[in-house]
Amino acid sequence: MKVVIVDDEPLARGIVKEYLKSFSNLNLVAECGDGFEGVKMIVQHQPDLIFLDVQMPKITGFEMLELIDNPPQVIFTTAFDEYAMKAFEAHAIDYLLKPFSKERFDKAVSKVLGQQPKIPIALTEETASPESSQRIVVKKGQNIVVLPVQKIHYFEAFDDYVKIFTADGFFLKKKTMSFFEKTLDALQFVRVHRSYILNLQELTRIEPLEKDNHVALLKSGVRMPLSQAGYVKLKSVLGI
């Protein structure tokens, strides 16, 4: 079984490494100091299990997982963190609160070893860290891009993905529209259509179309259709 450790503190990685020694069937293939390296190593080695810290440079452990198509099993290792605690409850195989004992560690690992069908980690609104209302982490080719939400013009539904439009083109993210609708600031991002979420800063005009239909005009020149419910919601947020 291949294992990767992702933690920004060398000593914290050291303790996991030390505890791993007693498991001959667990083979440490990489250790990483941040999420960028983490993504690279996980894609390269395809591990079965990762030990993952939450608070890390640039992107959090959760944001890192979002960038991986089929995330492996995850055991979180973190110090007291009220947001992470909430998220762990439903989703991770286990979580280890630093500092943790060898016994506690063994128990977590035995859960992975003894588990029959693999349960994929579920990243939903509940695992959204406080950062996710401020930024979105996306992948473009080999590069990882941290997008501050201010730079996002709008979101468009695209099969299982969402297209995130910015001045530099669009990025794909495997998430649902309702995820963004729930995590982003509802006064700035409005779901104006089943397939669209609009950043109000980008809105220049609302024009009537035939019958009761309306269309929104964006700074970038895009014409975005508004559903009837979306039009009503938009008006109420704008206070008109």
**Tokens found for residue 229:** 């419910």
Question: Which segment (91-99, 112-120, 184-192, 217-225) binds other proteins by CB under 8 A?
Answer: 91-99
The answer to whether residue 187 forms part of the interface with other proteins (CB under 8 A) is: no
Question: Which segment (103-111, 116-124, 130-138, 226-234) binds other proteins by CB under 8 A?
Answer: 130-138
The answer to whether residue 208 forms part of the interface with other proteins (CB under 8 A) is: no
Which residue among 1, 9, 182, 188 contacts other proteins (CB under 8 A)? 9
Which residue among 1, 8, 68, 174 contacts other proteins (CB under 8 A)? 8
Which residue among 150, 213, 220, 228 contacts other proteins (CB under 8 A)? 150
The answer to whether residue 11 forms part of the interface with other proteins (CB under 8 A) is: yes
Which residue among 3, 5, 15, 177 contacts other proteins (CB under 8 A)? 15
The answer to whether residue 99 forms part of the interface with other proteins (CB under 8 A) is: yes
**Interface ranges with other proteins (CB under 8 A):** 8-12, 14-15, 18, 34, 36, 55-58, 79-81, 97-99, 131, 134-135, 146-148, 150
